[in-house]
Amino acid sequence: ARDQRKQERGGFSGHIFLENVGGPPGAETEFDDPRVFLSPEQNRQLIELINQEFSRSEAAWIASAFFSPGVTNLFISAFERFLACRGVLKILLSTMGNITPPQYLLHLREQVPGAQVKVFHPPEIPFDQSPPDFHSKVYLFRRRDGSGSMIIGSSNLTQAAFSRNVEWNYFTPGEINLPFSRISAFDILRDEFDRCFTKEAVPVSSDFIAGYQRRWERSFLPSVVEDKKSKDFPGISEPEETAYGPRVKPNPAQEEALRNLAEMRSQGVRKAAIIAATGIGKTYLAAFDFSAFKGASLLYIAHRENILASALETFRSALGDKFFGSILGGGRKGNLGQNAIFAMIQTLSRRTVLESFSPDFFDYIVLDEFHHAEAASYQKVIEYFKPRFFLGLTATPERMDGRDVLALCDYQIGYEVRLLEAVDRGWLCRFQYFAVYDETDYSRIAWRGTGYDEAELETALSTDRRTDVVARNLKKFLPSHGKIKALAFCSSINHAAYTARHLSDDFGIEAIALSGMSDEEERQRAIRRLESESDPLQVICSVDIFNEGLDIPNVTHVLFLRPTQSFTVFLQQLGRGLRNSPGKEFLVAIDFVGNFRKANVAPLALAGYTSVEHFFEKACKMGISKIKGILPRGCFFSPDVEVERIWDEEIRRIISERLSPQERLSALYQDIRQCLGRSPSLTDLYGSGIEIDPMAFIRAFGNWIRAKKYCDGSLPPFEESLLETQGEAFLQHLERDLNPVRSYKMVVLTVLLGLPGGAWEVEEIAKGFLSYFLTHKDRMADYPELARSHAPEEFPLHKVVSKLKQMPLNFLSNTDKDFFILDKKRGLFSIKETVLPFWEKSVFKELVSDRVQFALLRYFRRNKGNDRDNPAGGEEDSGSRRVP
């Protein structure tokens, strides 16, 4: 019978799937023994226990002093199934302390119409007067076999009780049924519940709500709201008044980042990127960090005027100076006499404007995330200025915008906090994720290699039946307070327009469609309408706007209305609703999941995996039964039974031998390619944030060119021409055979790429080698003799020449497998004739540069924190030993 129940639910044997996504373990676990639940750590298990008891019971009684709508989302599916099976559900609430808002009581009555809902209020007391306090918390169930079970303790029927509060609860299906003075404890509690329910409670009627509303309004104090705001944003305090107003102080994430940036600067680093999800406060962080540069000048660069205006206000608030800075661009000329300029890249990159500043005019430059199309303009500006420090801001390294920021920062990461970590640490909003079964038959839609045929997909998704499912679930899972404010992510402009029109016309849910084609004024007007509680607009159906940085902090819902094919895109879209805002306790995420390809993306992403390969690697290394992905604290995960079956099949396919390493890596490659909008390079993979070493591609396919050909199906003409030549052999040698214990060989190759010709004097190479470490002071420890020097800028060049001849140049040359020749007597280092025709082509040097840059980044990342001050160790410690 147990195995049959597993099959019906679609769960895995051995906890393979639901534990991986931090979801409810009830598919495999039944609670048959007494148990103590100490929340919040065990909240998910307590939720699953209650859902389980509903599934095996014929009657239920719930008494709770307080109630909030968010908790209904956690149990609504169990309520519906229970009532559909003719279960009897009685819920007894109270108005103790006038804490529960009147509309919350209406919410429960309307959302669970089959339940009997009453409020403890003796009938003789007028509704606008307070009754005696009712503070009970108990959950009673009569199972279909006649036995009873009970949960008793401290948890009210509220979102807070089942997410973040410290609560103690005791569950028993046993001794509660034993007779005590001829009656069981279960019967005593049930009888007392029924007495209160019948004689001392009233229905949630219009008359009751009207009376309670008057009482509730009299007791409502503005200070309650202010106190809640301070709890919602514990990292931001308001103790200090300035000329601008209350000065904001760094939150915990910002404090961590500030310490990291200060440490990096102490090591000589002059560029760094901050990778943090929207909502962490990257602009405030930049302002706090800038304030450490006393009397410094600032240049803040962005691509849109509204971003600059917001950044300017943030800096003024953080610095307590209402006159700080001015905007250059968008028709504004800026006050060039000030030491702080907030500039639009379109204006700043003009030659006349750019050259009106001296290269060292600004001490501190901040670069906000920008469109890849504008990368050349940013590169031009960054190469012109020579600031004391350069800070890049990006929400994610995966998409092209973030990659450009990282590249301009030389891949130096000052601080990184990913989306789920930020949620777990309370810096972003908690979420409730519901995977709703989508009956669309995706097997009938043509697959075009990397995605579904867009026209066929649009037709399949734009149906009345599917929109009906969307509307019903949007009304089913409600926000913690206020109206629904939803972002719906659609497959196309036409799909967005269709969905918006039918939600409005057929279901009374006012919606509009926006796309990348919508102008800024139209977008801002829609955002203002969605944010306004008095405006009827509830849904914005969007297409690709998340790439534009659409930011609506008080969004209550995100709807995934198209198949999720990318880990990165899924988290980007989820992140659009995770900004904290006053009164917002959680985000509702509704994902419509059918039999589409890559259906595993969403649950694995929520479990913290960055790719299918990442999941597979964990499964192989740890053993399937030991893997356990965990949702962020306070979050909830609920898939429909049909969705569990789909995920079951997908994960079984992944862990089976039928899916080769090449196929898994190809899926990862396609995900990154989709985000970049082009084929990735090795440095793209390094900077993408995946948890897989890019060397996995080299091992699986032989070299990077072969990997690209397999994954893309073809190569650019020049790369195709390299196959089976010394050019391919040279690139493969760089990828596979140069695994340095120190960085010297890759630094030498970096120098060679900047020198003309194919033969070079060793002394010329030594100058570039020395310059590299003097420029990258944070990497100087890899050259111990230089690092220990009291005056590194005066380090003798002859010592560098000697080191190069003895070590890296020697290891790069003079064997049949090498591609260089070292003539120690003449002091010359040259590339072999077989490779020279390739080396002379700039496009080939770009391929070499990518591999060299990747190897250096990988080397210094892997050795970060290691003690490198050991001149006797490493690849160069012996002239007789060659390192592969």
Please provide the DSSP assignment of 820-863 as one string.
Answer: EEEETTTTEEEE-TTTHHHHTSHHHHHHHHHHHHHHHHHHHHHT
Q: Tell me the whole-structure pTM to 2 decimals.
A: 0.80
The reported pLDDT for the residue numbered 482 is: 86
Q: By the 8 A CB rule, do 189 and 172 touch? A: no
DSSP conformation class of 716 = -
What contacts 119, CB < 8 A, 6 or more positions away? 92, 93, 94, 95, 105, 201, 202, 203, 204, 208, 212
The reported pLDDT for the residue numbered 130 is: 93
Residue 245 scores a pLDDT above 60: no
The reported pLDDT for the residue numbered 586 is: 94
Residue type, 871: P
Residue type, 244: Y
Asked: is 31-220 a CATH 3.40.630.30 domain? The reply is: no
- Band the pLDDT of 692: cuts 50, 70, 90: confident
Please name every residue paired with 823 in a beta bridge, in sequence order, or none if there are none. Answer: 828
- Band the pLDDT of 247: cuts 50, 70, 90: low
User: Of residues 739 and 256, which shows the higher confidence score?
Assistant: 256
The reported pLDDT for the residue numbered 690 is: 74
H or E element that contains 414? strand 413-417
Residue 10 scores a pLDDT above 50: no
In this structure, the number of other CB atoms found within 10 A of the CB of residue 234 comes to: 11
Mean of pLDDT over the chain: 85
Interstrand relation of 35-38 and 586-593 (parallel, antiparallel or unpaired): unpaired
Tell me how far apart the 2 most distant CA atoms of the chain are, in Å.
110
Span 82-98, average pLDDT:
95
Q: Work out the angle between the directed axes of helices 842-862 and 744-753 (0-180°, nearest 10).
A: 150
Q: By the 8 A CB rule, do 314 and 322 touch? A: no
User: Of residues 852 and 613, which shows the higher confidence score?
Assistant: 852
Span 554-578, average pLDDT:
91
The reported pLDDT for the residue numbered 615 is: 83
What is the Cα–Cα distance from 605 to 570, expressed in whole angstroms? 8
Q: Tokens 């800075």 map to which residue?
A: 325
Q: By the 8 A CB rule, do 474 and 539 touch? A: yes
pLDDT tens-digit series, residues 334-363: 676 678 999 999 999 999 999 999 999 999
Residue 626 scores a pLDDT above 70: no
Span 768-790, average pLDDT:
92
Q: What are phi and psi of 588, to 5 degrees?
A: -100, 120
- Three-class SS state of 630: coil
What is the Cα–Cα distance from 42 to 153, expressed in whole angstroms? 14
> Cα 747 vs. chain centroid, distance in angstroms?
34
Residue 871 scores a pLDDT above 60: no
Residue 366 scores a pLDDT above 60: yes
- What percentage of the chain has pLDDT greater than the value 90? 51
DSSP string of 112-152, one letter each residue: -TTSEEEEE--TTS-TTS-------EEEEEEETTS-EEEEE
Q: What is the 3-state secondary structure (H, E, C) of 509-551?
A: CCEEEEECCCCHHHHHHHHHHHHCCCCCCCEEEEECHHHHCCC
The reported pLDDT for the residue numbered 519 is: 84
Residue 606 scores a pLDDT above 80: yes
What is the Cα–Cα distance from 37 to 51, expressed in whole angstroms? 15
Asked: is 240-417 a CATH 3.40.50.300 domain? The reply is: yes
- Band the pLDDT of 266: cuts 50, 70, 90: confident
The reported pLDDT for the residue numbered 622 is: 52
Nearest to 341 by CA among 405, 285, 279, 385: 385
The HSE-up count of residue 626 (CA atoms within 13 Å, CB side) is: 7
What contacts 501, CB < 8 A, 6 or more positions away? 511, 513
What is the Cα–Cα distance from 850 to 749, expressed in whole angstroms? 11
- Band the pLDDT of 157: cuts 50, 70, 90: very high
Domain boundaries in the chain? 31-220, 240-417, 436-598, 660-715, 726-884
The reported pLDDT for the residue numbered 664 is: 84
Residue 668 scores a pLDDT above 50: yes
The reported pLDDT for the residue numbered 657 is: 59
What is the Cα–Cα distance from 289 to 271, expressed in whole angstroms? 13
- Three-class SS state of 831: strand
What is the Cα–Cα distance from 532 to 524, expressed in whole angstroms? 12
Q: Report the range out of 240-249, 463-472, 619-628, 629-638 with the highest average pLDDT.
A: 463-472
Q: What are phi and psi of 540, to 5 degrees?
A: -110, 115
CA distances from 32 to 26, 27, 151, 185, 702 (A): 12, 14, 13, 18, 54
The reported pLDDT for the residue numbered 546 is: 57
The reported pLDDT for the residue numbered 389 is: 94
Burial class (CB in 10 A: 0-12, 13-18, 19+), 185: middle
What contacts 125, CB < 8 A, 6 or more positions away? 131
- Band the pLDDT of 24: cuts 50, 70, 90: very low
What is the Cα–Cα distance from 697 to 703, expressed in whole angstroms? 7
- What percentage of the chain has pLDDT greater than the value 70? 86
Residue 865 scores a pLDDT above 60: no
Tokens of 65: 């002093």
What contacts 8, CB < 8 A, 6 or more positions away? 641
What is the Cα–Cα distance from 445 to 438, expressed in whole angstroms? 14
Residue type, 663: E
The reported pLDDT for the residue numbered 235 is: 36
What is the CATH number that goes with domain 436-598?
3.40.50.300
Q: By the 8 A CB rule, do 148 and 177 touch? A: yes
Q: Hey, do 31-220 and 240-417 end up sharing a CATH topology, with the first three levels equal?
A: no
The reported pLDDT for the residue numbered 843 is: 96
Q: By the 8 A CB rule, do 202 and 119 touch? A: yes
What is the Cα–Cα distance from 637 to 828, expressed in whole angstroms? 65
Q: Report the range out of 9-18, 169-178, 712-721 with the highest average pLDDT.
A: 712-721
Q: By the 8 A CB rule, do 434 and 589 touch? A: yes
Residue 512 scores a pLDDT above 90: yes
Q: By the 8 A CB rule, do 215 and 128 touch? A: yes
Residue 197 scores a pLDDT above 70: yes
Tokens of 86: 């003719």
Q: By the 8 A CB rule, do 186 and 176 touch? A: yes
Burial class (CB in 10 A: 0-12, 13-18, 19+), 661: middle
Span 740-763, average pLDDT:
93
Tokens of 755: 């020198």
The reported pLDDT for the residue numbered 412 is: 87
Q: How many helices (DSSP H) and strands (DSSP E) are in the chain?
A: 36, 29
Tokens of 453: 């045929």
Span 307-332, average pLDDT:
88
> Cα 509 vs. chain centroid, distance in angstroms?
29
Tokens of 693: 């070493």
CA distances from 305 to 338, 371, 856 (A): 19, 14, 37
The reported pLDDT for the residue numbered 746 is: 94
In this structure, the number of other CB atoms found within 10 A of the CB of residue 184 comes to: 17
What contacts 114, CB < 8 A, 6 or more positions away? 79, 83, 89
The reported pLDDT for the residue numbered 290 is: 95
The HSE-up count of residue 723 (CA atoms within 13 Å, CB side) is: 14
- Band the pLDDT of 196: cuts 50, 70, 90: very high
pLDDT tens-digit series, residues 395-414: 766 555 556 778 788 888 88
In this structure, the number of other CB atoms found within 10 A of the CB of residue 287 comes to: 24
